[in-house]
């Protein structure tokens, strides 16, 4: 009997070690592309020798020079592309958070006829891929003179995002309705209830919506490719694409350095807000 009790903790410890080892292997597999990217961009690793890739510049093998060459390249103005991306991201994030929160409040806290049908119709729009509506959007934006400007990339965000509305609606429904009743007794209408009760309690979900849209804008390639026409308006995603055809050859070390520069802010932002991000995702959808 004592031996059985003694073996159980040992077996539990062995299973836990095995589980952690498997999780570590999966994490290492997920980080391999990042390790490859950083090693190639700094010159620590040179896969071109084994894979037969061409296009290495004279700065290959130098840790800092690859990044310096990317930032100071006259043909691909990365600081300008960074500024353009940040402008679109800030305007788009602000519009998505504000508009989606207002619509989500209407779906979750206000009772009106046809609410369920309208909500399901909105969710159905999530099934429509962007290439399906790309041509109609291009024609519409051309008619209003927005092609070649940033407007098509951030103005639609001020009219709500289906997934963000769904996420915030599910989060709002977890907030007790007794708070609404108490606010109504104190003379608060929907506007004050939304501003002073719902929004302060929904900071994790709002941050999740902001992070998700920021990452979407940061990584978006097709939208800027369709709506932007001048090189000085390019975003980082389009600037990264320029390296693929530079001088007829791909400078792989510079391409990896540019990729590292583009990836680092998103990873840093996620790790800083990781706890709030996970909290907002795990809490949303627990009711309704």
pLDDT digit string, tens, across residues 37-73:
888 777 655 555 444 444 444 444 456 778 888 888 8
**Whether the predicted pLDDT of 160 surpasses 50:** yes
What ranges in 145-273 are assigned the alpha helix state H? Answer: 151-154, 162-172, 178-185, 190-193, 199-201, 203-219, 222-227, 236-242, 252-272
Residue that has been written with the tokens 């694409």 in this structure: 241
Instruction: Give the confidence band of 226 by pLDDT, cuts at 50, 70, 90.
Output: very high
State the Cα–Cα distance between residues 29 and 22, nearest whole angstrom.
Answer: 11
Domain boundaries, the chain: 75-283
Query: Is 50 exceeded by the pLDDT of residue 178?
Result: yes
Beta carbons of 244 and 255 less than 8 angstroms apart: yes
* HSE-CB for 150 with a 13 A CA cutoff: 17
Query: pLDDT tens for residues 228-279?
Result: 999 889 999 998 887 776 655 667 777 888 888 888 888 888 778 777 666 6
SS3 content of the chain, % helix, strand, coil (to 5): 75, 0, 25
Q: DSSP secondary-structure letter at 240?
A: H
Name the one residue in this structure whose structure tokens are 């299973």: 15
75-283, what's its fold? MetI-like fold (1.10.3720)
213-216 long-range Cβ contacts below 8 angstroms, 24+ apart = 213/89, 213/92, 213/93, 213/96, 213/97, 213/157, 213/161, 213/164, 214/89, 214/92, 214/93, 214/266, 214/269, 215/266
**First vs last C-alpha separation in the chain:** 49
Residue 71 pLDDT:
85
Distance CA 36, CA 45 (A): 8
List of residues 6+ apart from 210 with CB closer than 8 A: 93, 96, 97
């Amino acid at each position: 009997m004592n031996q059985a009790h003694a073996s159980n903790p040992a077996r539990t410890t062995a299973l836990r070690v095995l589980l952690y080892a498997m999780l570590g292997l999966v994490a290492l597999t997920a980080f391999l592309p990042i390790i490859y990217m950083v090693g190639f961009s700094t010159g620590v690793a040179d896969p071109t020798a084994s894979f037969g890739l061409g296009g290495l510049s004279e700065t290959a093998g130098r840790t800092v020079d690859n990044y310096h060459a990317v930032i100071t390249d006259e043909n691909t103005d990365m600081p300008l592309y960074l500024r353009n991306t940040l402008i679109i991201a800030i305007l788009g994030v602000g519009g998505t958070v504000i508009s989606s929160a207002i619509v989500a409040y209407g779906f979750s806290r206000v009772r009106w006829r046809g609410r369920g049908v309208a909500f399901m119709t909105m969710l159905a729009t999530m099934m429509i891929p962007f290439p399906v509506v790309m041509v109609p959007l291009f024609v519409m934006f051309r008619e209003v003179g927005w092609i070649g400007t940033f407007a098509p990339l951030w103005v639609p965000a001020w009219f709500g995002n289906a997934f963000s509305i769904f996420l915030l609606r599910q989060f709002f429904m977890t907030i007790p309705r007794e708070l609404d009743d108490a606010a109504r007794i104190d003379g608060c209408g929907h506007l004050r209830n939304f501003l002073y009760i719902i929004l302060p309690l929904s900071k994790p979900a709002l941050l999740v919506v902001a992070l998700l849209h920021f990452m979407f804008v940061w990584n978006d390639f097709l939208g800027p490719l369709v709506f932007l026409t001048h090189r000085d308006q390019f975003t980082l995603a389009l600037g990264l694409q320029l390296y693929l055809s530079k001088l007829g050859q791909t400078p792989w070390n510079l391409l990896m350095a540019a990729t590292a520069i583009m990836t680092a802010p998103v990873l840093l932002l996620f790790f800083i807000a990781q706890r709030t991000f996970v909290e907002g995702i795990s809490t949303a959808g627990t009711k309704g």
